[in-house]
Amino acid sequence: MSPNDGRYHVNPATDGRTVVWQAHGADILEYESTTRVIDVATGEESVIQTAAPGTALGPTAVTGSHVYWLLDEIGQNGTTALRRAGLDGSGVTDLSPETGPGALNVAALTVSEEAVTVVARTPSAELRNESPAKLRQFAPRGGGDDMVRSRVSCNRGEQLSAAAAAGTQVLWLDGTTGISNVVIRTRPTGTCA
């Protein structure tokens, strides 16, 4: 990871063992955006994924086993994808696809070894409880790769600045009362139906 490689580097995250970030710049004659990792102990750097031309890449996060990042492959559609891959780039999957039912406009993410929590808006033409930013958490179902998506809180206000703690615990700033309050929850609420 050289600062003089002709690229600019953004959205870094680390778990203390691995650093993940996005790199943008010209590679030979083409401009490309990549999600990259470096092993802090060995210095080994690898490209996890090269984004399609025109894709906007967002914040990243890393655990001992996975890399997470946000991307917008379909410009101006109001939604983003939450993507996950193994530290070696294997098993790339969208935990929250950019299109289809339940697509979200994800702005930020935070992770623990057990869950990934996102700050996201639900695209909607009308103003309703789900319109302001809400926290959603993705956690493995039964220890496998199948992920369950749950709302962290059913509060009506905006939920911002999430920070993951151990397990599924998360804290955030909640605007339900009209002023920002720090809220901590040990597990997600569910569907808020």
pLDDT higher than 60, residue 1 = no
pLDDT of res. 178: 86
Q: Which residues fall within 8 angstroms of residue 64, CB to CB, at 6 or more apart?
A: 15, 17, 18, 113
Domain count, the chain: 2
How far apart are alpha carbons 121 and 70 in whole angstroms?
A: 14
Query: Tokens at residue 31, please?
Result: 């401009």
- Do 133 and 63 lie in one domain? The reply is no
On whether the CB atoms of residues 101 and 95 are closer than 8 A, the answer is no
Domain residues for the domain of 171 are 108-193
**pTM for this structure?**
0.87
C-alpha distances out from residue 50 to 68, 69, 73, 79, 106, Å = 14, 12, 12, 20, 20
Entry field: residues in the chain: 193
Q: Report which of 25, 27, 26, 23 is spatially closest to residue 9, judged by C-alpha positions.
A: 23
- Do 86 and 116 lie in one domain? The reply is no
Confidence of residue 146 (pLDDT cuts 50, 70, 90): low
- Do 72 and 115 lie in one domain? The reply is no
Q: Is the dihedral of CA 51, 100, 161, 151 positive or negative?
A: negative
- Do 77 and 1 lie in one domain? The reply is yes
Confidence of residue 5 (pLDDT cuts 50, 70, 90): low
Q: What is the per-residue pLDDT across 39-73, written as a single tens digit (0 to 9) for each?
A: 999 999 999 999 988 888 999 999 999 999 999 99
- Last residue of some domain: 35, 69, 103? 103
- Do 56 and 148 lie in one domain? The reply is no
pLDDT of res. 15: 92
How far apart are alpha carbons 35 and 24 in whole angstroms?
A: 9
pLDDT higher than 80, residue 143 = no
Q: Name the phi and psi angles at 156, rounded to 5.
A: -85, -20
- Last residue of some domain: 103, 127, 146? 103
- Do 66 and 125 lie in one domain? The reply is no
How far apart are alpha carbons 64 and 16 in whole angstroms?
A: 9
CATH code of 48's domain: 2.120.10.30
End-to-end CA distance of the chain: 46
Q: How large is the average pLDDT for residues 139-146?
A: 62
Which 8-state DSSP code applies to residue 190?
Answer: B
- Do 27 and 94 lie in one domain? The reply is yes
- Last residue of some domain: 51, 79, 103? 103
- Do 21 and 89 lie in one domain? The reply is yes
pLDDT higher than 90, residue 165 = yes
Mean pLDDT of the chain: 86
- Do 70 and 125 lie in one domain? The reply is no
- Do 99 and 170 lie in one domain? The reply is no
Confidence of residue 141 (pLDDT cuts 50, 70, 90): low
